């Protein structure tokens, strides 16, 4: 990329607080440094505008990054996440940090990390009724009337376990710090290729989360479900489920690329924002 100005596409929900002003500030900053191809909403962009783009700059929280990453994964355009939300695991840069390190990014010296994605499809009576990519997770939620549901879990066609619970999460390493973490699942390095299967409030003291290989294929069969039982993709897309439906989850062929902040790692973010591995508050003498 050396010797030419990078071509950028900006994704932003300017209806949210501070997003419009942050986009304006960045756009003014990159004048003469980069070409902004388009400024659009991820829900309405035209995939053809990605041709020839070097980076996608996404302004918002992790939810905005996740929406953009699903749309951008096939294009192999790296995502630069600018955090205007609450946590910022994927949106790694503040506006000021992006300005500070933009020359490094524009010259192609920034570290770009490849993240594994999942593909999910729902089969009913032998026919596909739903399919989607997932950045964080695929999870099944019990739904109304909130009785426990029963699921049969298979990994690579072998029965793994029956699960009577409020649902089930299948998470990527990226999503291991999201719903999976809050439900008691392990934290994985974002660089890994693996999946975490985590039950939600299982009716068992011995059903603990399990990590399986990234090349494994998981099938979940709805043995007994509720009227409102559904499968959700990253908490953004959903499909209602009926008894007998089969939810297939495997590694997506494509992946998404994220530009890393050179001064902050995944572990720094966890320690600073979630208090991970924080020492006890000892009484001072």
Point out which residues pair with 155 in neighbouring strands.
158, 218
**Burial of 125 by CB count in 10 Å (0-12 exposed, 13-18 middle, 19+ buried)?**
exposed
Q: Please give the full DSSP string across 38-88, using - where no structure is assigned.
A: EEE-TTT--GGGGTT--EEEEEE-HHHHHHHHHHHGGGTPPEEEEE-SS--
CA–CA distance from 82 to each of 35, 87, 253 (Å)? 18, 11, 26
The structure tokens 């939300």 sit at 85
The token duo for 67 is 């929406």
Is the distance from CB of 106 to CB of 34 less than 8 angstroms?
yes
CA distance 189 to 180: 13
The token duo for 86 is 């609450």
The structure tokens 């000892």 sit at 282
* Residue 62 among the catalytic residues: yes
Angle, CA 71 vertex, CA 110 and CA 82 arms, to 5°:
45
The residue from 54, 62, 234, 245 that is catalytic is 62
The token duo for 26 is 């960045």
Is the distance from CB of 185 to CB of 172 less than 8 angstroms?
no
- Residues recognised as catalytic: 62
């Amino acid at each position: 990329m050396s010797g030419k100005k990078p071509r950028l596409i900006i994704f932003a929900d300017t209806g949210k607080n501070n997003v419009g002003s942050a986009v304006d500030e960045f756009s003014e900053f990159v004048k003469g440094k980069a070409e902004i191809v388009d400024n659009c909403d991820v829900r309405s962009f035209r995939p053809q505008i990605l041709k020839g783009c070097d980076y996608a700059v996404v302004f918002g929280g992790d939810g905005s990054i996740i929406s953009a990453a699903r749309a951008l994964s096939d294009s192999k355009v790296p995502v630069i996440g600018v955090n205007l939300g609450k946590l910022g695991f994927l949106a790694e840069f503040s506006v000021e940090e992006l300005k500070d390190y933009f020359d490094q990014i524009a010259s192609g010296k920034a570290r770009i990390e490849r993240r594994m994605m999942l593909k999910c499809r729902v089969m009913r009576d032998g026919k596909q009724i739903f399919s989607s990519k997932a950045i964080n997770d695929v999870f099944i939620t019990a739904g109304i009337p909130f009785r426990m549901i029963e699921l049969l879990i298979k990994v690579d066609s072998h029965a793994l376990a029956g699960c009577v619970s409020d649902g089930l999460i299948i998470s990527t390493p990226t999503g291991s710090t999201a719903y999976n973490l809050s439900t008691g699942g392990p934290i994985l390095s974002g660089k890994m290729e693996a999946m975490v299967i985590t039950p939600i409030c299982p009716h068992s003291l011995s059903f603990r989360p399990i990590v399986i290989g990234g090349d494994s294929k998981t099938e979940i069969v709805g043995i007994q479900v509720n009227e409102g039982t559904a499968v959700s993709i990253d908490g953004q897309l959903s499909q209602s489920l009926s008894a007998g439906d089969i939810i297939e989850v495997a590694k997506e062929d494509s992946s998404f690329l994220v530009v890393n902040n050179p001064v902050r790692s995944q572990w720094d973010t966890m320690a600073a924002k979630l208090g991970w591995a924080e020492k006890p508050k000892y009484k001072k003498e």
